[in-house]
A and B are shown apart, each in its own frame.
Chain A
Amino acid sequence: MKKKLLLIIATLAMITTLTVWISGCGEKTQLDPDKPVTLSLWHVYGEQADSPMNRLVDEFNSTVGKEKGVVISTTLMTNASQIGENLLDAQAEKPGALDMPDLFFCHNSNAVEIGTENLVDWEKDFTKDELDDFLPDFLADGMSDDTLTVLPVTKSTQLLFINVTEFERFSKTTKVSYDDLATWDGFFDVAGKYYQWSGGKPFCALDFILRATDLNAISGGASGDDLYKNDWYNFSNAALKKSWMQFANALVRGHIVVSDLYSNTQVMTGEVASGMGSSASILYYNDVVIYPDNTTENMDLQVLPMPYAKGGEKVATQAGVGLCALKTTAAKEEAASLFAHWLTEPARNLDFAAETGYMPVTYEALKVVGDYNYKNDAYARLFAAFEKVQDSYTLVREPAFAGFYGKVGNFYTYLRENQGNYAARFKSGVSAKKLTDETWNAFRKARG
């Protein structure tokens, strides 16, 4: 009887073992190293230049990707705005448009335009513990319709990049200092002095003048929510108008300009002494400034936080695209999740952020930002500015309304086309008041 019982138990144990073995120890994976899943990727890291993201993709493909059966293929490397446009074209299957990518970096507003229902919800792929390691503000930036569709991989803010060689020449004569650039009032004052000192050159090229306007207003005490209405600006908001007029005043006088495309190229050609743009633009700065006669001089880049309203709160923008994955097949979604996890591992996240000029997104990586061995002084200054922002500034999320940035882009195009004309008219005697009013009216009329 005992023998019979033992035999039954042994048989049951064997069947259980076999079942567990066949079902892969309970883990069902859609990935097969012999039949790798290829995911196309659109990203923004290193457009027109060296790409740290492409190097990471290579590393992933030759290690974890190879082991698990995932191949990431970069099919587009451009800026966030172009990615937004390309996504809509691809989704609409416009003639000549690229195929819709499996993975892409974009703004939350782009994700909303594509449709949250078409994107993977990262909250289903990351455990609560894993998500708890991300900064909550960064995660909130990627939420739409209560779904985490845009996974923060890196975050940026806007900073002021200054050509030290030029600024030191200028400060020697005018006695201005970097401290003068701490507030917007000081910034505009310095810009005016530089214009005079340089014989009519603008001091700074701004990539995102409207965002600077927002931050100035918020810093001066305005509520961020009140600045917008019906997915666009609230033009009846007095703080918005006041802030814009400050920028418009400097713009029509030629003290500042809206950058032609990227402020860094205008700093590199010696057209301006500084550029205000994304922290990530450090990747694109050359070491030197080259003047039209091919005179070359070292730039020795200084990086400062954005100015704030005098006596106001220190606020900085929290920008940067995040990773989205298109809902396709179960295997592709698993592959996307694998890549996303790999990319946001704290050590890798820090390395990548340090190389691209972004802020890491996990507590663990942020803790050691200050101790990192940066590749040059400019990068060290950039991360020192980051630390300053982290320590004493309030980060403000960017608007994520569908169609918002199309209208912003149109207004920038208008300003680029007309800013030279404004400066010329001001020089010829037209009052600054009249010209700034014109810009305000143009701002009000801007449409997508």
Chain B
Amino acid sequence: MGKLFKRIHIPAGGSMKRKLFLYMLVLLIFILLLLASLLSLLGQFKTPKTSLLEACDVQQAVLGKEIKTHRNSLAMMNIHFSEDLSLSIDTWLEKNNLDFSALTDSPERVESLEGAIFETVRQYLLQAECSGAFVMLDTTVKSSAKDSEFSKSGIYLQVNGYEMSRRDVLCYRGSSTVSKAHTVMPHRKWRLELRRKYFEAYDVAKEKMDQPLDKACTFTDFMTMPGMSERAMHIVIPVTGSDGTYYGACGFEISESYFQQMFRQPARYSRMFSLLSNGNIDAGNDTGGSDTHPALQNYFACGNTSGYYYLPKSKLSIIDYGKGLTLFTDGKESYVGTIKTCEGYRTKEKFTTAVMLPKEDLTHEMASTGLRVAILILLLTVPSIICCLYFTNRFLKPLFYGIELIQKGDFSTQRSNVLEIDDLMDFLSQKDGETEKKIKGLETKIGNLQRSRQVDISEDDYQYFQSNFATLTGKEKEVFMLYLDGKTSKQIQEICSISANTLKYHNANIYSKLGINSRKQLLAYASKMRDEKTRS
């Protein structure tokens, strides 16, 4: 860390203010980087896209597993359902000593058989996690009717509402007499027989009638139920007799409402929802336009546990959105999320799940994340600046004030309130006192010396000296002044370019004219004369 600070070059010779500002700035950047690193390390520093991807992945995993488990459970139940129906029909045929073909054109026999298997269908409906259970028999009560080859006898029961406490059963298809006898009321859109063209499950099951039951289970695509706005998918399996006679198909219904209610997921995002498609993703084409991309076009939707539910109305083009996300768009509305194709456990039939939320929610999240980061930086920067200003006021200003006091030399009357500065001022004040003391001592000494000199100088001799000073020649005055300046004989010789003898000659003249006999006496008289001139 020390090395890092050493590397940061703060220009030498700058002012304290500038240096402090730069150091504080470096500290702020360091704190920001540290915070970002910590958040990143703790997994809190994520972009909205990364967060969405993680949320979608979790939801995909949970939803995919729930659907797989549900399908596996239904497939297993359906095998038992088929076996039980097969046994019941065999028993009924044996008891009535009839062949299965004897059911055709006999409403009474069909009604009797339906009565025999009604409870089986109802029990499986209530035990299985589904919205309906059905058996389509390979027979009709009126073969002479128009399109009778599409009409199949059977029982189709549905659960009315999905409250756990109240699972009322309704008879959607089948004999109303039989259903009422079992206290099951006909559905509002009841009909007697099932139409093959509406229930493709029948044909699917017939194709697999020779396969072992664990391989004959099939999930159909979603279809709109006749007479209803409800869509549903079926899991279907053939029902065959012990002698291999094809009796028909049985299975369960998963309605859109059931899926919506039972598979809704807890979600981090308030408008997150999931779609389920039975693997029919339109691959798209290369002609350009909106059909270029693969698309989801027939799906169920389930919302989340907070109550949000939305079902896109048209097919959704699938476009890569980067960072593992997918953009789903119908041209008007766009959603962002992930898509995954899974395999069922037992049936090995693929299904696709997509988890998404409206694109504007992601855009909003990105904007709000940007805003949050900006606010965070602002929250760190503004207090830092305020702190800097505070420190400057509390720390630098007293320092500057102390320095100003020192510059003024005023050590004793005012205090800077900074301990170190005040100590320095005390120290300087003390030193100042000592110096003053020394100066005073020296001045005293000089005064004493002057006084002692004044005692040696005779007033008459000095008067004589003064009166005769004017008699000196120019050269003699020059030499005299050089003596007064403290120059030595040698220096005077050099300055005046005269020989030692000439100097002696001038000295002798000066001494005799001024009435003195030594250089010391000359200097004392000259000093006194200068003092008097200064005073005047």
Contacts and interface: CB of A to CB of B under 8 A. Distances in A.
Contacts of B271: 36, 71
A294 B142 contact: yes
Interface in B148-170: 151, 158, 160-161, 163-166, 170
B303 interface: yes
A413 to B, nearest CB: 11
B177 interface: yes
B261 A284 contact: no
Contacts of A98: 163
A89 B166 CA distance: 11
B187 A89 contact: no
Contact of B192 (A47, A62, A294): A294
Interface in A122-156: none
B381 to A, nearest CB: 25
Contacts of B165: 89, 94-97
A46 B229 contact: yes
Nearest to B368: A34
B192 A78 contact: no
Contact of A97 (B163, B257, B313): B163
A85 B165 CA distance: 11
Interface stretch (B52-60, B304-312, B402-410): B304-312
A428 interface: no
B240 interface: no
B41 interface: no
Interface of B: 107, 111, 140-142, 145, 151, 158, 160-161, 163-166, 170, 175-177, 180, 185-193, 227-229, 257, 261, 270-271, 303, 306-310, 313, 360-361, 364
Contacts of A171: none
A54 B140 CA distance: 35
Given A36-B308, A48-B158, 5 more contacts: A48-B170, A96-B165, A98-B163, A262-B188, A265-B185
A71 B175 contact: no
Nearest to A281: B188
A215 B263 CA distance: 47
B188 A47 contact: yes
B183 to A, nearest CB: 9
Interface in A209-228: none
Please give me the 5 A-B residue pairs with the lowest Cβ-Cβ distance, nearest first.
A96-B164, A96-B165, A261-B185, A284-B188, A50-B229
Given A73-B309, A96-B164, A48 B188 contact: yes
Contacts of A269: 176, 186, 190
Interface in A292-323: 292-296
A337 interface: no
A39 B309 CA distance: 10
Given A73-B308, A286-B189, A292 B161 contact: no
Q: How large is the interface on A (under 10, 10 to 19, 20 to 34, 35 or more residues)?
A: 35 or more
Nearest to A261: B185
Contacts, number: 115
Contacts of B192: 290, 292, 294
Nearest to B227: A49
A38 B190 contact: no
B185 A260 contact: yes
Nearest to B111: A292
A400 B408 CA distance: 98
Given A48-B160, A50-B228, A292-B175, A73 B307 contact: yes
Nearest to A259: B185
B185 A294 contact: no
B511 to A, nearest CB: 91
A293 B108 CA distance: 9
A96 B170 contact: no
Contacts of A51: 229
A295 B142 contact: yes
Interface in A222-256: none
A286 B227 CA distance: 8
Interface string A354-375: 0000000000000000000000
Which residue of A75, A77, A290 has the most chain B CB atoms within 10 A of its CB atom?
A75
B308 to A, nearest CB: 5
B163 A48 contact: no
Contacts of A78: 160-161
B105 to A, nearest CB: 9
B132 to A, nearest CB: 12
A290 B191 CA distance: 7
B465 to A, nearest CB: 84
Contacts of A198: none
B299 to A, nearest CB: 16
Contact of A265 (B140, B163, B190, B361): B190
A286 B228 CA distance: 11
Interface string A83-106: 001100100001111100000000
A392 interface: no
A96 B163 contact: yes
B307 A40 contact: yes
